[in-house]
Structure 1
Amino acid sequence: MTATARSLELARAAAEAAADRLAGEVLALDVSEQLVITDVFVLASGDSDRQVRAIVDAVEERLRSMGAAPVRREGVTEARWVLLDYADVVVHVQQAEDRRYYALERLWKDCPVVELPESVTAGAGRTEGGDRTDLGA
């Protein structure tokens, strides 16, 4: 089973919102074959707690405008690793240091990468052709 069209739509919107706040290493993974609880993980990095909060706010605002609200939010107070759970899409926004340490990309490396708009991938820490970067690919 692959991610639903709605899940992909929300994931791409979340990725665009994160990129609008200059998130680094924005990536979406179709985890639907591996997990029954969600379809897509969206991963993004911020350089500070302030930037992580700004990314989270932008994602929530964008998805709210699409009629989606998180069923769970974790980590907002410390803003080192914030998890926004939209059921079909889970957004992980981490400080860059934590992103490298936990390397979710490496843990989920067998999952297909969701194609994101060029506005997200251009200059956002991805290599030409949409390959994953050195964060664990």
Structure 2
Amino acid sequence: MTATDHALELARTAARAADDRLAENIIAFDVSDQLVITDVFLICSAKNDRQVRAIVDEVEEQLLAVGAKPVRREGQREGRWVLLDFADLVVHVQHEEERAFYSLERLWSDCPAIDLGASE
């Protein structure tokens, strides 16, 4: 099983949105073979809590513009690691310290990376 075209397009839109707010190290993995709850994980980081929130706001705004609404949002109050669940896509926006500590990309490195185009 591979990620749907819809999930891939959402991931690319989210990556562009994160890039617009200067997110760093934007990567995505096709987790559809490992998880039944989603197709794609997109991970990016920011230097501070304020930037984490700005990235989250921009991702939500741009995905809403293409008809995708988050079904769940976690961590927004703390601003250190915000998870946005769009069903087919889960976006992780992490403060760089949390990114280094939890190393999600290492956990999911056996999953295929997704080409995000110019947003990478």
1:36 counterpart residue number = 36
Letter matched to residue 76 of structure 1: Q
- Which has the larger share of helix? 2
Note the C-alpha offset of 1:117.
1.6
Q: Report the counterpart of residue 48 of structure 1 in structure 2.
A: 48
**What do you get for the CA RMSD once the two structures are aligned?**
0.5
Question: Looking at both structures, which has the greater relative contact order when contacts are Cα pairs under 8 Å and sequence separation is at least 6?
Answer: 2
1:112-127 pair list within 5 angstroms: 112-118=112-118, 120-121=119-120
Deviations 1:76-117 (A, max 9, x none): 001100000001100000000100100000000100000012
Runs of 5+ unmatched residues, structure 1 = 122-137
Unaligned segments of structure 2, at least 5 residues: none
- Determine whether 1:17 maps to 2:17: yes
Partner in structure 2 of residue 95 of structure 1: 95
Residues of 1 paired with 2:24 and 2:75: CA distance? 19
Aligned residues: 120
Q: Distance in 1 between matches of 2:11 and 2:48?
A: 23
TM-score by length of 2: 0.99
* Distance in 1 separating the partners of 2:103 and 2:84: 18
Query: Which residue of the partner structure matches residue 127 of structure 1?
Result: none
